[in-house]
Each structure stands twice: as C-alpha cells, then as structure tokens.
Amino acid sequence: MATFESKIAINRSVNDVYQFLADFNNHGQLMPDNVQNWSASYDEAGFMVQNTVRLSLQITERIENQAVNITAINNPPFPVQLHWSLIANGESTDVTFTINAEPGGLMKMMVSGPLQKLANHEVSSLAALLKS
C-alpha cells in the first residue's frame, strides 16, 4: 500500500471545517483542473481524470468534528481510500488528508507523483476556501 499525506492548519473552527468536508457537494471546489465532469450528492461523487479514467467515490464514515472517510467504488483501477482527519487546536483546526492506494507494480510508479500532488492541492485549496 502506498500512502500520500498532506497537513495544514486552518484558521477556522473544527466544526466549520468538518461541515464543509462532510458534504461531497463541496469537494468539487478542492479538485485540480485535470478533474472534469464533477458530479456529487451529499454521500457520493463521480468525475473524470483528464479524459482517462472515471472514478466514483463514497463517503463511508463521518465522525463529527474528527474525520471524514472516503472509498473509491464501482471498480476503480486500484483500491483507494481517502481520509480527512481534523484536530481542534484552539480557534484553528489541524487538518491531515491521507490517500491510501494499492496500485500494482508499474502503476505505483506512474501514480505516486500525481497522488501526492492531489493530496497537497486539496489541502491547500481547502485552506484557501476557508480562510477567514
């Protein structure tokens, strides 16, 4: 399994950050430009990555003001799980976004860089959107 992680402190309450992340409708705002045809409901989202692969995601667990766990569904090219972890730190929130993926052999080398960039992009986009 390969793990990609990005962390940031956001100057917003843990409840504000959690409420944003708990609704998949908001996640489209965090995606990089190579994500196309984003569609979402409260619990599920689907999108294309540069006209190459269609991915579907589902929020599998919400732990109020602590975590949002997401799993790739509907036959992804390899197993992927996303985890948003939130820790209140006074009036700000420490956010960690982790991507756990299980790409095989050569695929691991091809996707490692893009998955780390995705983790970094989503965290920095979240901070930019929620800056007060």
Q: Which residue has the tokens 């100057």?
A: 11
Position 1 pLDDT exceeds 90: no
Model pTM? 0.94
Query: Quick one: CA dihedral 42, 71, 121, 54, positive or negative?
Result: negative
Res. 132: pLDDT tops 80: no
Mean residue pLDDT of the chain comes to: 94
User: Region 107-120: what's the mean pLDDT?
Assistant: 91
pLDDT, position 43: 98
Judged against a pLDDT cut of 90, whether residue 30 lies above it is answered with yes
CB 9 within 8 A of CB 91: no
Q: Which domains does the chain have, with CATH numbers?
A: 2-130 (3.30.530.20)
